[in-house]
């Protein structure tokens, strides 16, 4: 079968539960041009090479000025074009190239300090135990709604300084804005209009919150970014809002999938679930293998800014590029027996958190959250079973994970 339509099949929700056979077909031609002109890169060596190549740009979002007219002249001719130009110039830093990317990422990394992240371990432990206590008297739960979503959204809101009563608003915003990662949805006019409205709403919320952080500083990341210090430049408000949106969305959407994909995999291989309950010290290795085996981010899109010869193909300037991270993680040329889940795997240099300049800022926090969550569940949940396998999946192919994961179980143990 030709590889020229395989990525279209990857994007098809009917293949969401198991895209890995499609990845195996794509790897037969490491760099394959799709019918729409996109070049899909599916092998580990080629992805690892391109992910740090300066000829590959992260500035690949569509022009925000291309929108349908509403019929309101002042809005359409003045307000929306100005907003669109501001958004174009101040995209979240994962959609920026150096030097802007490096400057903004550096400010975030300073606020996202290792000590601040480490302090969240106890907060995460207390939260997971509190959520598990709510399972008392139940025989069935939806892991996503009852556990996997509340853990990371509460943690990232705590870190950023978002009041707890405002947390529920972010699920709808995050779900909608995540469509910006899906190539087949970026050009859809209705989706673009919804994203524009969603970004306006979340920006207004954050603008008010930032003003409060400047008036009444607190010990949180948003306060640090909003105020800066004598040794650090302060972000302008447009970059600050874009950065806060990114941290709120990426800071929990990916971790929801990491926790849920992990539980699904462990219950498919219950010997590993039982081992985790007996030997919680294996959790770090287990999570690294999970990031390889079922990564929460399956691919990232890029744009070629020069002709790039690679693997016998030349990716032309201005061509869209897809780095299929999840396929690289299952590449038999890099990993022995790649379709086997093996927490004892050595030399596990996976692509689960991307790589290069855009290596995931929140990786240390995600590892802590996943470790605490999985160990707590394995120790306390009595004989958990999957109610439905495969479960229903979220529609998106990039941030891939179950929309619901219903479990039955035989009670909970004491913490």
Q: What is residue 192's predicted lDDT score, i.e. its pLDDT?
A: 72
Q: What is residue 165's predicted lDDT score, i.e. its pLDDT?
A: 85
Residue 61: pLDDT band (50, 70, 90) is confident
Asked if residue 413 belongs to a domain, the reply is no
Q: What is residue 175's predicted lDDT score, i.e. its pLDDT?
A: 74
- Mean pLDDT for 380-390 is 97
Percent of the chain scoring above 90 in pLDDT: 66
Residue 186: pLDDT band (50, 70, 90) is low
Which of the residue ranges 106-115, 255-264, 296-305, 363-372 would you say has the lowest mean pLDDT?
A: 106-115
Q: What is residue 231's predicted lDDT score, i.e. its pLDDT?
A: 61
Residue 174: pLDDT band (50, 70, 90) is confident
- Residue 63 burial by CB count (10 A; 0-12/13-18/19+): exposed, middle or buried? exposed
Q: Show the domain range for 254.
A: 3-408
CATH number at residue 366: 1.10.630.10
Asked if residue 415 belongs to a domain, the reply is no
- Mean pLDDT for 8-35 is 96
Sign, Cα dihedral of 112, 113, 114, 117: negative
- Mean pLDDT for 44-61 is 93
The single residue listed with the structure tokens 């920006």 is 203
Asked if residue 363 belongs to a domain, the reply is yes
Q: What token pair was written down for 321? A: 């590029």
Q: Write down the mean pLDDT value for the chain.
A: 88
The single residue listed with the structure tokens 């958190």 is 353
- 258 or 207, which is more confident: 258
What DSSP designation does 386 have? E
Asked if residue 414 belongs to a domain, the reply is no
Phi, psi of 229, deg, nearest 5: -155, -175
The single residue listed with the structure tokens 């007996």 is 278
Q: What is residue 79's predicted lDDT score, i.e. its pLDDT?
A: 42
**What is the number of structural domains in the chain?**
1
Q: What is residue 123's predicted lDDT score, i.e. its pLDDT?
A: 94
For the chain, the C-alpha Rg in angstroms (whole number) is: 21
Closest residue by Cα to residue 224 from 113, 117, 114: 113
Quick: pLDDT tens for 64-119: 545 455 555 544 444 444 455 445 556 888 888 999 999 999 999 988 889 999 99
Q: Residue 279 above 50 pLDDT?
A: yes
């Amino acid at each position: 079968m030709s590889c020229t339509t395989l990525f279209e099949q990857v994007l098809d929700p009917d293949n969401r539960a198991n895209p890995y056979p499609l990845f195996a077909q794509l790897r037969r031609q490491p760099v394959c041009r799709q019918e729409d002109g996109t070049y899909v890169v599916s092998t580990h060596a080629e992805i690892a090479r391109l992910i740090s190549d300066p000829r590959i740009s992260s500035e690949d979002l569509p022009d925000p000025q291309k929108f349908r007219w509403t019929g309101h002249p002042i809005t359409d001719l003045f307000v929306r074009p100005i907003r669109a130009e501001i958004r174009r110039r101040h995209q979240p830093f994962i959609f920026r190239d150096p030097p802007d990317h490096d400057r903004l990422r550096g400010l975030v990394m300073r606020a996202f300090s290792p000590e601040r992240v480490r302090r969240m371990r106890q907060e995460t432990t207390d939260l997971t135990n509190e959520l598990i206590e709510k399972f008392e008297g139940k025989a069935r739960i939806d892991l996503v709604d009852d556990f996997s979503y509340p853990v990371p959204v509460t943690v990232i809101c705590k870190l950023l300084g978002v009041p707890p009563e405002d947390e529920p608003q972010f699920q709808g915003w995050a779900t909608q804005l995540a469509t910006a990662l899906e190539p087949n949805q970026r050009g859809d006019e209705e989706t673009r209009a919804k994203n524009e409205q969603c970004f306006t709403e979340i920006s207004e919320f954050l603008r008010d919150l930032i003003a409060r952080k400047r008036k009444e500083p607190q010990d949180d990341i948003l306060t640090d970014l909003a105020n800066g210090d004598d040794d650090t430049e302060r972000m302008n408000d447009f970059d600050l809002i874009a950065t806060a949106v990114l941290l709120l969305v990426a800071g929990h959407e990916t971790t929801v999938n990491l926790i849920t994909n992990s539980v699904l995999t462990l219950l498919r291989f219950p010997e590993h679930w039982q081992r985790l309950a007996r030997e919680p010290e294996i959790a770090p290795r287990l999570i690294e293998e999970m990031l390889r085996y079922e990564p929460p981010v399956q691919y990232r899109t890029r744009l070629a800014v020069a002709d790039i010869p690679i693997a016998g193909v030349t990716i032309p300037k201005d061509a869209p590029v897809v780095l299929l991270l999840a396929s690289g993680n299952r590449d038999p040329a890099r990993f022995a027996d790649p379709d086997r889940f093996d927490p004892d795997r050595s030399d596990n240099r996976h692509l689960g958190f991307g790589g290069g300049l855009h290596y995931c800022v929140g990786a240390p926090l995600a590892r802590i959250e996943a470790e605490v969550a999985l160990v707590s569940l394995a120790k306390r949940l009595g004989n958990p079973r999957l109610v439905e396998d495969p479960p229903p999946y979220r529609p998106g192919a990039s941030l891939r994970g179950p929309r619901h994961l219903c479990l039955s179980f035989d009670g909970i143990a004491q913490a």
